[in-house]
Chains A and B, each alone.
Chain A
């Protein structure tokens, strides 16, 4: 377009949704639901060698109200499922869920009476990471894939809020003086 040619590289034209999604994807703050062994690899993922903060996940927010993505790491038992669901419900939209490891994807090596065979039985999952436990580089790859998904504006569990999409309140009848 003529405007871009005139002003050069300092101007970029895009849709608002894309700009917002770009901001979102580069600052995904994870909430680590570290339950068992995968939590150790998640701590290594946040550690000095495989640094997650260079991809935008600067801090691990332990409060669900301040987080975007919940990484469920570890075997989810029936007793814990209630807790995980409660915390997921407390996260504000838009939110994503990464199911880390074999235990969360499908029950893993525990086909027993107390292990939920996959957290997708009670949570909408966006990304499954295979491994027992997955290496931290594997989890980084998952984070980057999730970022691509965020750029497209998709989320299994929530409708991503887009400007112009808020339901307007109907004005109540105005009493005229």
Chain B
């Protein structure tokens, strides 16, 4: 089995001896070799099954090789075997901290391929749930990163807020966590009165609760010293490595897909895109905290402006009809049968649709050859690219900073490993 460790520069004598199966190795200076530490796939602070092989010179990191693939579930091959509709529950499990956001992203890609326009109420609702999913994902990031750095209280408080969000999702969709709420051409069902009231209540109380968590961390000397100036990455390197999302905005680059190539109803909303200079862990922390506040303002605006109306597009041969009509009308029954068994009828062609997911740019590249199943579906997952930047951020850091840096990148292995 070939070695999976990459030597930076010379090969250490220990490794050479291991490969040569030389058991009689003597050292004159016991401290002459570097230590290769395996932060294995099972580790409380690696945010999932990420394996890091870190080369240490004392306590300083001089090299790092991340190894992914411990959660590779074969999504792209599954997509080639399922129809476009059948793949929607699978998208929940990609970035499992914000499943609604992935649902919306996938359905937007398929609708771009099919050329369907969705009614405005569905667009507004999709934007609301995307922003709520962003808040939910950033709350878990906050809890996990603070817990890794040592602040356990913040973990408990952010989970309390997340439980309120889970209650809202359960009211709105039916499931806490793996929602599968969107459908091609619209949404599964409409938002009820009680769900709307729950969203309004949450949004009203959220800023005060977030301020409590901030008060614990922002001016906390331990937190600031553990994150200020740690894990710096320069702007050119960030763009070259393909970082997107909050990681890129913490390097000073003003790039947000909601502003640059607007989708859904983002061009009608007033919001700011937080950008911080520095490229270090503290900048990434500030970017995500500000993003949560902006999301809250966006949901307030959306709830004021949401129009009444249909939530399904009317395109009989491409959009699944409503359940009550399937059971009563003949045409809808036939369309439902054809759509479920043979799939939607896409044109031949390829598209790419990228959205601004909480972790970065989540993109779906679909190549279809006219069948009901995609010929090729590629998921551009932001965490996969963000983890690639990890060795550059870890260069020169201490071993105790590794955990803070991983927490600030916010990788989710479900999407990095697909």
Contacts and interface: CB of A to CB of B under 8 A. Distances in A.
Contact between chain A and chain B defined by CB under 8 Å: yes
Interface of A: 33-37, 39-41, 43-44, 47-49, 62, 74-75, 77, 79-80, 83-84, 87, 109-110, 112-115, 132-133, 135
6 contacts: A39-B48, A74-B71, A77-B71, A110-B78, A114-B72, A114-B74
Interface of B: 40-44, 48-49, 69-74, 77-78, 89-90, 92-93, 96-97, 140, 156, 159-160, 162-163, 166, 176-178, 413-414
Given A36-B414, A79-B72, A112 B159 contact: no
Given A40-B140, A44-B163, A80-B49, 9 more contacts: A36-B413, A48-B159, A49-B160, A79-B72, A80-B41, A83-B49, A83-B70, A87-B42, A115-B74
A37 B42 CA distance: 15
B71 A80 contact: yes
B253 to A, nearest CB: 30
Given A47-B156, A79-B72, A80-B70, A41 B44 contact: no
A26 B42 CA distance: 26
Contacts of A110: 73-74, 78
A115 B163 CA distance: 30
Kindly list the 7 A-B residue pairs having the minimum CB-CB distance in the complex, ordered from nearest: A112-B74, A37-B96, A47-B159, A62-B44, A80-B70, A49-B163, A110-B73
A36 B42 contact: no
A80 to B, nearest CB: 4
Contacts of B162: 44
Contacts of A44: 159, 162-163, 166
Contacts of A37: 92-93, 96, 177-178, 414
A77 B42 contact: no
A87 B40 CA distance: 11
Given A49-B163, A113-B77, A36 B71 contact: yes
B96 A36 contact: yes
Nearest to A35: B49
A36 B69 contact: no
A133 B70 contact: no
Contacts of A135: 176
A133 B177 contact: yes
Nearest to B140: A40
Nearest to A60: B44
